[in-house]
Amino acid sequence: MHIVFAASECSPWAKSGGMADVVSSLPRALAKHGHRVSVFFPYYRQVAKAEPKAPVVVPSITIPFPTYSRFVRILNGGIAGGVQTYFIDCNELFDREAFYGTPSGEYADNAERFGLLCRAVIEASKILGVPDLFHVHDWQAAMLPVMLRSVYYFDPVLRNVPAVLTIHNAGYQGWFPPQTIEKLLLPWDMYTVDKLEHYDKVDFLKGGIVYADAITTVSRKYAEEIQTSEFGNGLDGVLRKRSGDLLGITNGIDSEEWNPATDSHIAAHYTAENLAGKKECRRDLLHAYGLEGVSDDTAVIGVVSRFTTQKGFDFIVEIMDRLAQEDMVLVILGSGEEYYERLLVEMAERYPAKVRVQVKFDIVMAHKIEAGADIFLMPSRYEPGGLNQLYSLKYGTVPVVRATGGLDDTIDEQPDGEGNGFKFWGYNAWELFDAIQRALETFRNKEQWAKMMRRGMAEDFSWDKPAAEYLRLYERVIQNRS
């Protein structure tokens, strides 16, 4: 089977969130099953810096717009893990400081940028090899199935090629003015409430949901949640209509990058059978945050996250005065909304012996926190899939999470301490505090805590099972179109 992935991000070249990890890891897992997999994404400025000499494989593809054309090159990003990577090179659209916008807002031409991405992937595939299936990710690539079923409908080599859409976060949909229909040379009869129109806008993600052969999300629970008004962000109705074609598949993790037995970023290696190295990782983490003299009986709580309300930072700020009285230290890594960046720095200044914050993204420090912390905090308002709780389990760092999306699917709290973590259900700061207290109480029972650590480390969160589920889905939609 030949599968083409289309996305706006892919690790390690271009990453702003978990989608980039999925678009990197899932193709490699599929390739291990013997399938041919190609991944297309934009040749951003950051990618060009990393791959300045990427060879040209298609020198020019014409992408038409109403009064002009863009000209795109396809560059060869190489083969790694059995996966062929291609870059979509269009300097005037992708050679910019950021992927999607500036602090003052999104780029005004994002509809053109990602409409071009979708059409360029289709055109490049006609030259480099028509796939058996397209797998597209989030709103930035969601126009690909729309184009397949409209402007490419009569193309004899494409009309029977299915497309699968994965929704990583339904909160980001790609809303643009009605004139976008003309801009992308789509027929105006697609601008209706049952197709692309959504509250007087063209909604890229909605279009993908309507026209994809199947829709997946990154956890079973999130597939249920986005069919409700609370989490569907206005798309719950159209998702309920497609419920028979909607499937939740829990993400895997890259077990080569995230493995405490081999991780090159951490101070010492360890396994479930021999946890001694985790103590050294704990000491290293505390030293990196300037926390000296912390007792072995004091729990180290770690956070690696974007600083947003969605990630539950309003809860963390609300309970901090009370949490600081507990026998714990809190180390936080990340960046995001200026409001929370400022508040978290102020908290660290108020409680220097208890709270430390690094406002940045640092992959090495993220690994150090996963390995060195005792408890990992994820109090998200919603979390479609989540990867950090899986990293934490792998590293014997017990998660405390809100029971939503992939967090609810993967974390199991049992009253007798036989689960793999702790969770709370209500969207309430003090329920989070209660869950942390339960974790701290269990942490004091070293024998029970070690069992919980080993239980999490023993679980299989590799891509093997998710890849097999995707392959079954691919085979079904291919058969339905044949």
> Per-residue pLDDT tens for 305-331?
989 898 999 999 999 999 999 999 999
Q: Which amino acid is located at 425 in the chain? A: W
Q: Are residues 164 and 241 in the same domain?
A: yes
pLDDT at 220 over 90: yes
What is the reported pLDDT for 336? 85
pLDDT at 417 over 80: no
pLDDT at 104 over 90: no
Q: Are residues 423 and 473 in the same domain?
A: no
Q: Are residues 477 and 451 in the same domain?
A: no
What is the reported pLDDT for 17? 79
pLDDT at 236 over 80: yes
* CATH number of the domain enclosing 112: 3.40.50.2000
Q: Are residues 248 and 367 in the same domain?
A: no
- Provide the mean pLDDT of the chain: 95
What is the reported pLDDT for 206? 98
Q: Are residues 199 and 281 in the same domain?
A: no
Backbone phi and psi for residue 104, each to the nearest 5 degrees, phi listed first: -85, -5
> Is residue 258 a part of any domain in this protein?
no
Q: Are residues 171 and 211 in the same domain?
A: yes
Identify the bridge partners of residue 198 per DSSP, sorted by sequence position: 201
pLDDT digits over 127-179, tens only?
999 999 999 999 999 999 999 999 999 999 998 999 999 999 999 999 999 99
Q: Is 465 exposed, middle or buried (0-12, 13-18, 19+ CB in 10 A)?
A: middle
Q: Are residues 241 and 348 in the same domain?
A: no
pLDDT at 105 over 90: no
- Least Cα distance to 267 among 393, 388, 371 occurs for 371
What is the reported pLDDT for 255? 84
Q: Average of pLDDT values for 425-444? A: 95
Give the total number of structural domains in the chain.
2
pLDDT at 103 over 80: no
Following DSSP, what letter does each residue of 231-247 receive, concatenated? Answer: TSTT-HHHHHHTGGGEE
> Is residue 265 a part of any domain in this protein?
no
Q: Give the range among 205-209, 413-417, 463-467 with minimum mean pLDDT.
A: 413-417
pLDDT at 7 over 90: yes
Q: Average of pLDDT values for 15-34? A: 92
Please report which confidence band the pLDDT of residue 4 belongs to, taking 50, 70 and 90 as the band edges: very high
pLDDT over 90 for what percent of the chain?
89
Q: Are residues 405 and 353 in the same domain?
A: yes
> Is residue 14 a part of any domain in this protein?
yes
Please report which confidence band the pLDDT of residue 370 belongs to, taking 50, 70 and 90 as the band edges: very high
What is the reported pLDDT for 144? 98
Q: Which amino acid is located at 387 in the chain? A: L
Q: Average of pLDDT values for 388-400? A: 96
pLDDT at 271 over 90: yes
Q: Average of pLDDT values for 369-383? A: 96
Identify the bridge partners of residue 165 per DSSP, sorted by sequence position: 136, 215
Q: Are residues 341 and 365 in the same domain?
A: yes
What is the reported pLDDT for 418? 83
- The secondary element (H helix, E strand) that includes residue 277 is helix 276-288
CA angle 266–268–270, rounded 5-degree value: 110
Chain position carrying tokens 């409430």: 193
Q: Where are the alpha helices (DSSP H) in 412-463?
A: 429-443, 446-458
> Is residue 269 a part of any domain in this protein?
no
- Least Cα distance to 400 among 329, 263, 253, 302 occurs for 302
Q: Average of pLDDT values for 236-245? A: 96
What is the reported pLDDT for 434? 97
Q: Average of pLDDT values for 294-303? A: 96
Start-to-end CA distance of the chain, whole Å, equals: 14
pLDDT: which is higher, 73 or 417: 73
Range of the domain at 228: 2-252+464-481
- Least Cα distance to 256 among 418, 25, 11, 16 occurs for 25
